Every structure is written in C-alpha cells, then in structure tokens.
Amino acid sequence: ISVKNVHRTGFHFQPPKYWINDPNAPMYYNGVYHLFYQYNPKGSVWGNIVWAHSVSKDLINWIHLEPAIYPSKKFDKYGAWSGSATILPNNKPVILYTGVVDSHDSQVQNYAIPANLSDPFLRKWIKPNNNPLIVPDNSINKTKFRDPTTAWMGQDGLWRIVIGSMRKHSGMALLYRSRDFIKWAKAQHPLHSSPHTGNWECPDFFPVSLKNTNGLDASYRGKNVKHVLKNSLDVNRFDYYTIGMYDTKKDRYIPDNNSIDGSKGLRLDYGNFYASKSFYDPMKNRRIVWAWINESDVLPDDEIKKGWAGIQAIPRKVWLDPSGKQLIQWPIEELETLRKQKIQLNNKKLSKGEMFEVEGISASQADIEVSFSFSSLNKAEQFDPKWADLYAQDVCAIKGSTIQGGLGPFGLATLASKNLEEYTPVFFRVFKAQKNYKVLMCSDARRSTMRQNEAMYKPSFAGYVDVDLVDMKKLSLRSLIDNSVVESFGAGGKTCITSRVYPTLAIHNNAHLFVFNNGSETITIETINAWSMDVPKMH
C-alpha cells in the first residue's frame, strides 16, 4: 500500500487529491444536494483557496465538478473564503462568501449566483460587478471580518446575516440587514458577542424545534422554537455553541442561563471537528450539519507525501434534546446504505478486565453500535473535586482506558493492532461526584500509533455525557471507523467525539476491533450491531 493511500478514508467525503478545509454553502436545490468547500487546486497544504463544488442525490455518493468560485476579480483576488447559501423567494439560490482583497488578508463580503438555473448541477456561478456587497466600516478589524451565514428574513421583510468578527478580544457575530439582498446595513449591535473568546469564524445561527426532531428553515418564525448560535473559535479550533432565545424585537440573541460562550461551553464535537455549517433540508425536513476534519499528522511534510489533506465529517442530522439544554447529532440515515456484512451479538457479559474481539467485519472500515447496561452505580469511582476546573480531555488524560476503575472504563478499542501495540479506545467512565454522577466519554488517541514523533498530535479527547443513569442504567455508543478517523456518538448523539489517528500496524486487514471492560462492575452488552462499510461513488 502506498504512503498516499494507507490512511485515506473509504466512506468520508474527499476529492481525489489535495487540500480541503471548511464546508461551504451546503444546500438542497431541485432534487440535488450541493456541497462547496475550501480547496487548494495546487497542493496538499492550505493556500490558493477556491470553492470546489460537488453534487449528490443522497449526501453519500458524489460527483465532483469544476470549482464554482475562484479568485479573479478585485473583490476576491487574494482568496475566496468561506460562506453560505440562501434560497431566495422564487427558488433562486445565492451564495455569500468572503473575498480577500489584498496580501494583508483584508476581507469583504461578495455574492455569486448561478449562471443557468436550468442546469441541474448549477455548474457555473457568476460574480456580478456590483460586488463587493459589504465592506468593513472603521469600527471593524478588516482582517477579522468573514464567513457570512445563510440569511434569514424577519417579520419586517428585511434579510439578515451575521458575519464573524472580533473587537478587543471579544468574539462577535456582526448583524447586517438588507431589503434587496444587495444593499446591506450594519445593525447598531451585533447579534451577540462574548468577551475573551477571540475571533469567531464560521458562525452558524438557526432555529430548533422544541417539539420534535424536524429541522426548521433559517427564516422560520413560529412558536416553540429555540435558537442556536455556533461559532468556530480561532484560538483553539473547536466548534462551540449555545442555546438561547432570539429576541426578534431587539434583534439580539440571548443564550440561556446555563448555556455559556467560549471554551467552557458546549461543543458540537469534543474532538477534531471545525468550521461546521448546517443547512435545512426541505426534502426530509431536517437540519444537517457538515464539518471539516483536518489532518493531525502535523508535519506538513506528511501531507505533501500523501498528496491529500482533510476530509468532511459524515453529515449529521441535528436537533434539540428534549431537555432543551443541548443538541443531539446523529449520522444521516443515508449512511446506512453503505452497510455491508453485518454481525450481531446479544447479551454478553463482560466482567472486570475482560475483552473480546468483534470478528467478521472489516475493522478498518466499519459502523458499530453497542448498548451497554449495568445493574448498579455503587462501584462508580469518586470524582476528584479538583477535576471540576479541568477540561474533560484532561480528566481522560489522567484516568485513561487502562487504569482500572469501578463503573468503567468500558467501551471499544478501535483501529487496534492484534496485540494492542496500537489502538484508539472510545469508552465511558462513570464517576460519583458530590451531588450527581458524571459520565465521561473519551476517544483517546495517545496509543493510536507506534510512530514516534514529538510533533504528533495525539490528544485524549473527551466530553461529559448528560444522562441520568439513576433512572436508566444504560449507555450506548456508535462509532464510525474509517481507516484514519473514528467518529463516535455517545448516548444516542448527546456527546460526539471525532479523532484522527494514523496507525502503522492496524491498517486495512490488519485492523482489529475489541470491546473491553476495565472496571470492577460487570457490564452487559445488550446488543452489538456492526457492519463493514462500503465505499461510495465519488468521482
């Protein structure tokens, strides 16, 4: 197997070669899903950014087209950066994107429209001459003014967008309004801002239903909704969100009391997952979120050798948890069309220190769902009060998957070599804190590869799972394993963690998959359903 392909993913979205980053302007239009994305047509490191364009009928099999937007005019000569699509009344799509206008990264906002609405793939896009639409006023830092959202319309008939920005270390979502989509005026106040959060990239603002898992169009104005504001924090490269109320009179977004901005807040994914963007899919009445999963092999040299860098996460349906406190995400159902051989196991007990192999599927490219249960919480280990100030990731670094616990650690050892020289464990550890139980979910890359290099990024990614184990002594886990990526969904999608890993032994047919329990409490595996995953068409 050549260096180029050893770690290449099988069922994640990728072009044939070179660098990709942010998903841009995902949309559904006349029977076709579109995905644009930041792409370097000349190499496998970031640079020369254009908007690559792919289309699909099912979000799984893709046709790659010519780039839709590439730098050519004064208003985007130094780069066509991220942006979003809006479908205007009369079914007319329009893209808003950030143009870079000089070598200092000064930014403006532009629009592009399809050249020919009767082309089912919308191959050609026009950048009209009245661009740029929005230039930064004097109060705005020109180099931190980018990534316009999908527009939504208020009761007053005005369109609104937000643009990511920063002023004096406060991250902010600048609000602009327009009647005709051409002339835009900055609102006096940002939609929302938060001190000490640094620059906000790729903001995403959308309504979620309090009633069911259906998605809502950005302009939805009914009752029984909350709003979500997501931003991608430039300082640590994670996607954070809050849930709150959109005050349409003041045109401001107010996060709920328990929903906080910044690095102590909720994350869409507690691993490698950035610059996400959602869209409303009217076909299936759902909201779908895309995100960029970058490489973690750190040395740019690796990427040059491979000839490719970056993948898109499996699209996830996203909705509000019935508690109203967090989002739930789940791989879109279309992914299931790639499931091949299946194995199923029921009712298997795993006592302390036990481990068994899940055989009969290809462990380097698989979809696995497991449900665990246990009969008591008594053995849960103490949660050290000192850990309250740590990030979950740091607690995972302290406890890991091998230090024996009480209730857990139990879970999957993914992309494992036969003798466990390499593996990426995805697991739970349950702690007893002062007032409640805390469920830690980890996807720990520290033993993922034998490759020795100080620059390797092998974090012990982790997040807490907000479940009530007193009522239901069960935890479920789903992992999508794809050669160099493991995307995991805890408790039905309450906590999601994506790891990029680069095994040297656990590749292709030499990869193994185990289930383990290193806690003293016996765990019952109620069911395992696991499938080998097929390779979709991407050409």
Q: Is 275 in the site for ligand DQQ (CB under 6 A)?
A: yes
Output 52 or 481, the one with its CB closest to ligand DQQ: 52
Q: Which of 7, 53, 127, 146 binds ligand DQQ (CB under 6 A)?
A: 146
Output 106 or 524, the one with its CB closest to ligand DQQ: 106
Comparing CA positions, the residue from 381, 162, 380, 318 lying closest to residue 251 is 162
Evaluate whether 488 touches 379 at the Cβ level (below 8 Å): no
Q: Which of 20, 25, 27, 49 binds ligand DQQ (CB under 6 A)?
A: 49
- Which residue in this structure is represented by tokens 């068409």? 537
Element (H, E) at 393: helix 392-399
Q: Is 204 in the site for ligand DQQ (CB under 6 A)?
A: no
Q: Is 269 in the site for ligand DQQ (CB under 6 A)?
A: no
Evaluate the CA torsion angle 517, 429, 481, 56 in order and state its sign.
positive
Q: Is 172 in the site for ligand DQQ (CB under 6 A)?
A: no
Cα(438)–Cα(417) distance, rounded to whole angstroms?
A: 31
Output 7 or 146, the one with its CB closest to ligand DQQ: 146
Q: Which of 9, 82, 109, 484 binds ligand DQQ (CB under 6 A)?
A: 82
- Which residue in this structure is represented by tokens 């003293």? 520
Site for ligand DQQ in 27-46 (CB under 6 A): 38
- Which residue in this structure is represented by tokens 């430039």? 234
Q: How far is the CB of 311 from ligand DQQ (least distance, A)?
A: 14
Output 76 or 367, the one with its CB closest to ligand DQQ: 76
Q: Is 21 in the site for ligand DQQ (CB under 6 A)?
A: yes
Give, in order, the Cα–Cα distances in Å from 477 to each of 214, 474, 515.
23, 10, 11
Q: Is 278 in the site for ligand DQQ (CB under 6 A)?
A: no
Cα(111)–Cα(113) distance, rounded to whole angstroms?
A: 7
Cα(246)–Cα(205) distance, rounded to whole angstroms?
A: 10
Q: Which of 15, 22, 317, 530 binds ligand DQQ (CB under 6 A)?
A: 22
Name the CA dihedral angle for 464, 466, 469, 470, rounded to a multiple of 10 degrees. Answer: 120
Element (H, E) at 530: strand 523-533
Output 127 or 146, the one with its CB closest to ligand DQQ: 146
Closest chain position to ligand DQQ (CB): 81
Give, in order, the Cα–Cα distances in Å from 229 to each of 164, 322, 526.
11, 18, 37
Output 148 or 503, the one with its CB closest to ligand DQQ: 148
Preceding peptide of 148 cis, ω within 30°: no
Q: Is 147 in the site for ligand DQQ (CB under 6 A)?
A: yes
DSSP string, 147-177: -PPPPEE-TTS-EEEEEEEEETTEEEEEEEE
Q: Is 80 in the site for ligand DQQ (CB under 6 A)?
A: no
Cα(533)–Cα(338) distance, rounded to whole angstroms?
A: 5
Q: Is 312 in the site for ligand DQQ (CB under 6 A)?
A: no
Q: How far is the CB of 92 from ligand DQQ (least distance, A)?
A: 24
User: And the tokens for 276?
Assistant: 């996400």
Q: Which of 81, 206, 308, 319 binds ligand DQQ (CB under 6 A)?
A: 81
Evaluate whether 361 touches 531 at the Cβ level (below 8 Å): yes
Q: How far is the CB of 289 from ligand DQQ (least distance, A)?
A: 15
Residue 119 a catalytic site member: no
How many residues make contact with ligand DQQ (CB under 6 A)? 14
> Which residue of the set 22, 147, 261, 482 is catalytic?
22
Site for ligand DQQ in 228-257 (CB under 6 A): 232
Residues at the interface with ligand DQQ (CB under 6 A): 21-22, 38, 49, 81-82, 98, 146-147, 201-202, 232, 274-275
What are the residue numbers of the active site?
Answer: 22
